[in-house]
Amino acid sequence: MLLNPLARGGRVITGLFGRGRQLLTRTPEFRRGFRTWRGERPFWAALFTFAAGLPILYWPYAHLSLGGIPLALSTTSGAGSLLIGTLLPALGVALCWRPHLRVFAGIATLLLALISFPVANFGGLFLGVASGLIGGSLACAWLPPRADEPTTTAEEGRSGT
């Protein structure tokens, strides 16, 4: 990839398959826009909630070997793990795209994380329970920004940066 730092508005990246086409990236604008988007929703609650479902979903279906001895945690908790492990990432996505559902999604995350402890192999070996409790608590505690507060882009525009 060839970089041209003299291009206006960012870097020009010419890829291997571009055949003369240039992709103009505007990283400062993207970062500022992402920061504004992230500030308008419970982003960290959604991230922890999404991450809570992954170990709960993984461990019952993983087949590991420890020194040649097969190790499987698949028990009767497979169906419960599948249900809880798919609902938690769905709640994480719902927190990002529908922030007004934060209390419902937070309470549902807390309940699913607590239910996963006895149902789904100690809640994904404690990783899913811990991440779910953090994500659910953050979702319930998050408040949307007030309308009379200036956004970060307006503050940056006023300060001249």
Q: pLDDT tens, 42-90?
A: 999 999 999 999 998 888 777 777 788 876 666 666 788 889 999 999 9
Task: Summarize pLDDT for 135-154 with one digit per residue, the tens.
Answer: 999 999 999 888 876 666 55
The domain segmentation of the chain, as residue ranges, is: 1-39, 41-141
Q: Give dist(CA 145, CA 149) in Å, integer.
A: 7
* From 79-83, 95-99, 114-118, the region with the lowest mean pLDDT: 79-83
Report pLDDT for 153: 58
Q: What is the pLDDT of residues 10-43, one digit of tens each?
A: 555 555 555 444 444 567 788 888 898 888 999 9
Cα 137–139–140 angle (5° rounding)?
65
HEC readout, the chain: CEEECCCCCCEEEECCCCCCCCEEECHHHHHHHHHHHHHCCCHHHHHHHHHHHHHHHHHHHCEEEECCEEEECCCCCHHHHHHHHHHHHHHHHHHHHCHHHHHHHHHHHHHHHHHHHHHCHHHHHCHHHHHHHHHHHHHHHCCCCCCCCCCHHHHHHHHCC
* pLDDT at residue 14, rounded to an integer: 54
